[in-house]
């Protein structure tokens, strides 16, 4: 029974594994003793992923520019958060910079930079019958390049479809084995 429950949980969790939430500093959280250069090593941050900052009342999270990150300047923060439980969605590709604005903390290492890569590099294949990809048509008129409108509905629908397909045979097999 435990096995079955675990297996079904795995199946249920699979589609949700697409966007990842990273807990900054893991169990250490967002604090003066964290090693955030080390923490980012080996991680790939993708558009749509989120960062969760956990911190106490003496800290905060400022989203800043690169130069303000380099100089630990919180005077021009792009956004500021001090709720102790801040979730930042990585909504654009490229670098993002975070510092703690409390005096001395950033200089002491309480600063984080992540590089966000675009989603879709390893997205599931598009279903057949999808329109041809724009941008390769050698038309004479400089047609306006259609913006790459993200289609959040496509990937989940594929995954749900595969999930439904996979679910019933697997469930049947489990019940057959257990009976
Ligand atoms: Cu701090």
Instruction: Report CA(7)–ligand 1 centroid distance (Å).
Output: 41
Q: What is the pTM for the complete model shown?
A: 0.60
Instruction: Report CA(59)–ligand 1 centroid distance (Å).
Output: 4
Tokens (6 digits) for 146:
């259609």
Q: How far apart are CA 26 and CA 1, in angstroms?
A: 32
Percentage, residues of the chain above pLDDT 90: 56
The β-bridge relationship of strands 50-54 and 21-23 is parallel
| CATH code for the domain defined by 19-117 | 2.60.40.420
Instruction: Report CA(119)–ligand 1 centroid distance (Å).
Output: 31
| Ranges of H-type helices in the chain | 2-16, 36-40, 66-71, 154-178
- Name the residue with tokens 């080390």: 38
pLDDT in tens, 127-166: 444 344 444 444 444 444 555 544 444 444 444 444 444 5
Please give all residues whose CB falls under 5 A of ion ligand 1, grouped by chain where several chains appear: 59, 100, 102, 105, 110
Q: How far apart are CA 9 and CA 1, in angstroms?
A: 12
Whether the predicted pLDDT of 175 surpasses 80: no
Instruction: Report CA(85)–ligand 1 centroid distance (Å).
Output: 13
> For position 84, what pLDDT does the model report?
98
Q: How far apart are CA 134 and CA 116, in angstroms?
A: 24
Instruction: Report CA(103)–ligand 1 centroid distance (Å).
Output: 8
In the chain, where are the structural domains located?
19-117
Instruction: Report CA(94)–ligand 1 centroid distance (Å).
Output: 24
Q: How far apart are CA 116 and CA 88, in angstroms?
A: 12
Closest by CA position to 96, among listed 133, 132, 47, 130:
47
């Amino acid at each position: 029974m435990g096995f079955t429950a675990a297996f079904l949980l795995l199946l249920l969790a699979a589609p949700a594994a697409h966007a990842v939430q990273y807990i900054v500093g893991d169990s250490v959280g967002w604090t003066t003793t964290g090693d955030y250069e080390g923490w980012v090593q080996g991680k790939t941050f993708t558009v749509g992923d989120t960062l969760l900052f956990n911190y106490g009342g003496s800290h905060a999270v400022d989203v800043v520019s690169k130069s303000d990150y380099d100089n630990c300047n919180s005077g021009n923060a792009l956004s500021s958060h001090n709720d102790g439980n801040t979730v930042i969605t990585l909504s654009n590709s490229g670098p993002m910079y975070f510092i703690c604005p409390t005096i001395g903390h950033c200089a002491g290492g309480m600063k984080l930079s992540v590089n966000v890569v675009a989603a879709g590099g390893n997205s599931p294949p598009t279903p057949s019958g999808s329109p041809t990809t724009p941008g390769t048509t050698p038309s004479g008129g400089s047609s306006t390049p259609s913006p790459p409108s993200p289609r959040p509905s496509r990937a989940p629908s594929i995954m749900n479809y595969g999930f439904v397909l996979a679910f019933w045979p697997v469930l049947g097999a489990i019940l057959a084995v257990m009976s």
